[in-house]
Amino acid sequence: MAGDSSALASMSKRGGDQKMRAHIRRRMVNSWTIAVTLERSICPSTGRSKPRQKWITVRGTKDNAQARLSEFLSLERAVEWRALRS
């Protein structure tokens, strides 16, 4: 799809490496959506693996959305790092 971009950030956890996927999608003029897949979990009713996602709306240019995605990913890495140290 035109206007989409994706990013892949690797995060390490105690169980090994987990890939965090994210993409930016244009919604309207000067409006972008960032979708970040944080982790996968098992749905208790179906027993299937489902992604846990965080959706963020950014108003402005695509550069603003890319900067916000970078900020979010660095914040997530910092939270994970603190969790691993304690």
Specify the number of domains making up the chain: 1
Residue 42 domain-assigned (yes or no):
yes
Residues across the chain: 86
Domain that includes residue 50, residue range:
5-81
Residues 6+ apart with CB under 8 A from 40: 49, 50, 51, 52
pLDDT value at residue 18: 57
Residue 86 domain-assigned (yes or no):
no
Residue 62 domain-assigned (yes or no):
yes
Q: Is the pTM of this model over 0.85?
A: no
Question: Do residues 29 and 15 lie in contact, with contact meaning Cβ atoms separated by under 8 Å?
Answer: no
> Is residue 40 classed as helix, strand or coil in its secondary structure?
strand
- Tens of pLDDT along the chain (86 residues) come to 444 444 444 433 334 445 678 889 999 999 999 998 888 888 888 889 888 888 999 999 999 999 999 998 888 777 776 676 65
Residue 52 domain-assigned (yes or no):
yes
Residue 16 domain-assigned (yes or no):
yes
